[in-house]
Chain A
Amino acid sequence: MAASISPSADLSAALVHALPTAAAWLVILPVAWCLAIGALLVMLRRPIGLHPTITIIGLAGLVLIDGLLLREVAENGPLTMVMGRWLPPFGIAFTADLAGALFAFTAALVALVAGVFSLADVNDSGRRYGFYPLLMLLMAGVSGAFLTGDVFNLYVWFEVLLISSFGLLVLGSEPEQIDGTVKYGFLNLVATTLFLIATGYLYAVLGTLNMADIAKKAEGLRNSAPLVTLAGLFMLAFAMKAAAFPVNFWLPASYHTPRVVVSALFGGLLTKVGVYALVRVMVMLFPVEREELSFVLAVAGALTMIVGVLGALAQTDFRRILGYLIVSGIGSMLAGIAVGGPGGIGGAIFYALHSMLVMTGLYFASGIAMRLGASSSIASLAGLYRRHAGFTALTLMLCFAVSGLPPFSGFWPKVMLVKAALDIGAWWLAAALLLAGFLTTIVTGRLFLLAFWREGTHAAGEAVSLSPATLGPLAVLTGLTLLIGLYPEPLLALIQNAAAGLAEPSAYVNSVFPGGGP
């Protein structure tokens, strides 16, 4: 029976014969782990009280796996596992290099912290509507996007995280949430479709979707294939995902409506997935085309920075301000990608990691402020300083960090980016970076002055205490920001290696094609 159905062709030539090491499983485990925990949570419908515990254990496990992966990759170079044992360009490869592992680890850390914050933020109805399963599936999508080595697979993980994010956005089913979700969903679907079209085009031109294979093949096709068009299409699709000007309008329209912890996760993670994809495609796959497009990218980056921060200056809603600050930060990352070189790419990666921590922290702060002041508008929030001094101090530090002031994590990427821009003579880009930083300081200063320092008009002066589940996540993120700001060398070394690995992907290619490949 078995013999009659097995094909007569000799399959052994199409299979990978080197068996994977135990370490190689670390590449696939973050995704499989999140999917398994998510599925388990979907099955456990009745004992809803178990959801938070299982999720936090799951996310702690994810941090551990990603941490081990990061250590392995930092010591031994990129790791690859090819699904189903098929040879690389045909089998779908998961490849973790230093950039991917750094992003995945930071994302897992942010998700764990958000999981703890959700204990106080997500009520029973949110649990019943599936907040925790959706959170785990979102993390499966995010981890997959950071670790995959295949362009179409990247598209699939974008879809996974997009679908989970729809679910998270409508949690609560209030009219304004549905309004925000429709805008978010529609514009993201346009971006995803564009990504899919670009992927189809890429396949038609190069005949492969494996990233390592593309990086190799693009070299020989530079003179004949429309690679700049391809790079341009990918750039537009990912810039839309990352909320870059002029396709940034969906973000401020939707990120202030869901639950605070959902805003925090989205603000921290989702746009950075777009930035990561942009870095991966523009820097590793199409470096020459990036040079061609760098002026467009630089102008878009500068405009994103300025438009974002001016938008933030015009808003009064705490979370809308943060939405615009995210957009402004994306501009700095685009500027880094446009400038290129170790300083530019490293600066962009550093800025993205910093932004993950800080924006999540600031969204937590907005949630706590809303709870203390019973309002989300900084016009009516006042006197928060008197209500909880510790909370005020943490928020002030995060405000400094997001403005790029020392000694916090925002300072170093900004220095790297400004220096990289000046090195290639793009003084206007450096000026835009500094101006955006200055305006961000004004935005956060205004925010802090009105919501925290101003004396409350009504008698809301008495101090309150906050539970550890509320204040702890904020304190952890602020602590990390401060730590990175004071002692950036280890992270900086990793980031520089990551940028070098992206610019010169021979280690990445070797990891996918150990024997030199086809």
Chain B
Amino acid sequence: MKSVIFRTVAPVLTSLMVLFSVFVLLRGHNEPGGGFIGGLIAVSALAIYGMAHGVETVRRAIFFHPMAIAGAGLFTATFAGLISIFAGVPFMTGLWIYPAILGVEIPLSTVFLFDAGVYLVVVGAISSIALSLEERGGE
């Protein structure tokens, strides 16, 4: 798309949407949200950026190949389930730690790690599809 307005707004919109997607991912533990929906928001952000500045720019910006991101997500999710092997509890049992970072207690859990994996799988897989569709559409 050639519109100057769109090309100017797109980077701002993209960064806002990616930020919001992370917010939705973090919010997902106790409230509506989570890895899947967060991932979809992030993919929409990448797709908008791709429409404005071309697919190549997006591919360079995310650095890794989308499928590699999806693979990393799947690996993270599997690993999150397997952590419980060390605690001696069944597969995928939620385990929590509360490290204090800069004086603030941060609750971290394997549940969140799993959700982050889901986020990455969705980002990788759907953006792979979206980017190749945009590439074809531009021809």
In the assembled complex, the Cα of A85 lies from the Cα of B65 at a distance in Å of 36
A41 within 8 A of B: yes
Q: Is the CB of A42 within 8 A of B105?
A: no
Q: Is the CB of B75 within 8 A of A19?
A: no
A1 within 8 A of B: yes
In the assembled complex, the Cα of A35 lies from the Cα of B65 at a distance in Å of 19
For residue B118, give the distance in angstroms from its CB to the closest CB of chain A: 13
B96 within 8 A of A: yes
Q: Is the CB of B91 within 8 A of A32?
A: yes
> Would you call the interface of chain A mostly helix, strand, loop, or mixed?
helix
Q: Is the CB of A5 within 8 A of B30?
A: yes
Nearest chain B residue, comparing its CB with the CB of A81: B90
In the assembled complex, the Cα of A28 lies from the Cα of B74 at a distance in Å of 16
Q: Is the CB of A32 within 8 A of B88?
A: no
Q: Is the CB of A85 within 8 A of B93?
A: yes
Q: Is the CB of A45 within 8 A of B91?
A: no
B72, B90, B96: the one within 8 Å of A2 (CB)? B96
A83 within 8 A of B: yes
Chain A residues near B37 (CB-CB < 8 A): none
Q: Residue among B75, B91, B93, B98 with the most chain A CB within 10 A?
A: B91
B40 within 8 A of A: no
In the assembled complex, the Cα of A394 lies from the Cα of B106 at a distance in Å of 63
Chain B residues near A28 (CB-CB < 8 A): 91
B30, B70, B72, B90: the one within 8 Å of A82 (CB)? B90
A42/B74 contact (C-beta < 8 A), A20-B90, A25-B85, A84-B94 known: yes
In the assembled complex, the Cα of A26 lies from the Cα of B73 at a distance in Å of 24
Given known contacts A39-B74, A43-B75, A85-B89, what 19 new A-B pairs fall within 8 Å (CB)? A5-B107, A16-B90, A19-B89, A25-B85, A32-B91, A36-B79, A39-B71, A39-B72, A39-B75, A39-B78, A40-B71, A42-B71, A42-B74, A43-B68, A83-B90, A83-B92, A84-B93, A84-B94, A130-B67
Task: Give the 6 A-B CB pairs with smallest separation, nearest first.
Answer: A42-B71, A39-B75, A39-B74, A43-B71, A85-B93, A28-B91
A81/B75 contact (C-beta < 8 A), A2-B96, A5-B107, A45-B65 known: no
Contact with B along A66-78 (1 / 0, CB 8 A): 0000000000000
In the assembled complex, the Cα of A1 lies from the Cα of B75 at a distance in Å of 30
Q: Is the CB of B107 within 8 A of A2?
A: yes
In the assembled complex, the Cα of A42 lies from the Cα of B88 at a distance in Å of 29
Q: What are 20 A-B contacts with C-beta separation under 8 Å? A: A1-B98, A1-B105, A2-B98, A5-B107, A16-B90, A19-B89, A24-B90, A32-B82, A36-B82, A39-B71, A39-B72, A39-B73, A39-B75, A42-B70, A81-B90, A83-B92, A84-B91, A84-B93, A85-B93, A130-B67
Chain A residues near B39 (CB-CB < 8 A): none
- Tell me which residues from 47 to 81 in chain B have a Cβ below 8 Å from any Cβ of chain A: 65, 67-68, 70-75, 78-79, 81
Nearest chain A residue, comparing its CB with the CB of B68: A43
Chain B residues near A83 (CB-CB < 8 A): 90-92
Binding site for A on B (CB under 8 A): 29-30, 65, 67-68, 70-75, 78-79, 81-82, 85, 88-94, 96, 98, 105, 107
Chain A residues near B82 (CB-CB < 8 A): 32, 36
Contact with B along A355-383 (1 / 0, CB 8 A): 00000000000000000000000000000
- Tell me which residues from 474 to 493 in chain A have a Cβ below 8 Å from any Cβ of chain B: none
In the assembled complex, the Cα of A5 lies from the Cα of B70 at a distance in Å of 30
Chain B residues near A130 (CB-CB < 8 A): 67
Nearest chain A residue, comparing its CB with the CB of B29: A5
In the assembled complex, the Cα of A28 lies from the Cα of B92 at a distance in Å of 10
A45/B92 contact (C-beta < 8 A), A32-B82, A36-B79 known: no
In the assembled complex, the Cα of A19 lies from the Cα of B87 at a distance in Å of 10
A43/B90 contact (C-beta < 8 A), A2-B105, A32-B81 known: no
Chain B residues near A81 (CB-CB < 8 A): 90-91
Chain A residues near B107 (CB-CB < 8 A): 1-2, 5
A274 within 8 A of B: no
In the assembled complex, the Cα of A415 lies from the Cα of B85 at a distance in Å of 45
A35/B93 contact (C-beta < 8 A), A1-B107, A5-B30, A45-B67 known: no
Q: Is the CB of B71 within 8 A of A133?
A: yes
Contact with B along A313-339 (1 / 0, CB 8 A): 000000000000000000000000000
Q: Residue among A5, A42, A84 with the most chain B CB within 10 A?
A: A42
- Tell me which residues from 2 to 37 in chain A have a Cβ below 8 Å from any Cβ of chain B: 2, 5, 16, 19-20, 24-25, 28, 32, 35-36
Chain A residues near B79 (CB-CB < 8 A): 36
Nearest chain B residue, comparing its CB with the CB of A21: B88
Q: Is the CB of B72 within 8 A of A43?
A: yes
Chain B residues near A20 (CB-CB < 8 A): 88-90
In the assembled complex, the Cα of A485 lies from the Cα of B82 at a distance in Å of 40
In the assembled complex, the Cα of A5 lies from the Cα of B106 at a distance in Å of 12
Chain B residues near A19 (CB-CB < 8 A): 88-89
Chain A residues near B74 (CB-CB < 8 A): 35, 38-39, 42
In the assembled complex, the Cα of A9 lies from the Cα of B85 at a distance in Å of 26
Q: Residue among B29, B82, B107 with the most chain A CB within 10 A?
A: B82
For residue A416, give the distance in angstroms from its CB to the closest CB of chain B: 37
In the assembled complex, the Cα of A289 lies from the Cα of B73 at a distance in Å of 43
Chain B residues near A36 (CB-CB < 8 A): 75, 78-79, 82
Q: Is the CB of B67 within 8 A of A40?
A: no
In the assembled complex, the Cα of A42 lies from the Cα of B68 at a distance in Å of 6
For residue A304, give the distance in angstroms from its CB to the closest CB of chain B: 37
In the assembled complex, the Cα of A81 lies from the Cα of B107 at a distance in Å of 27
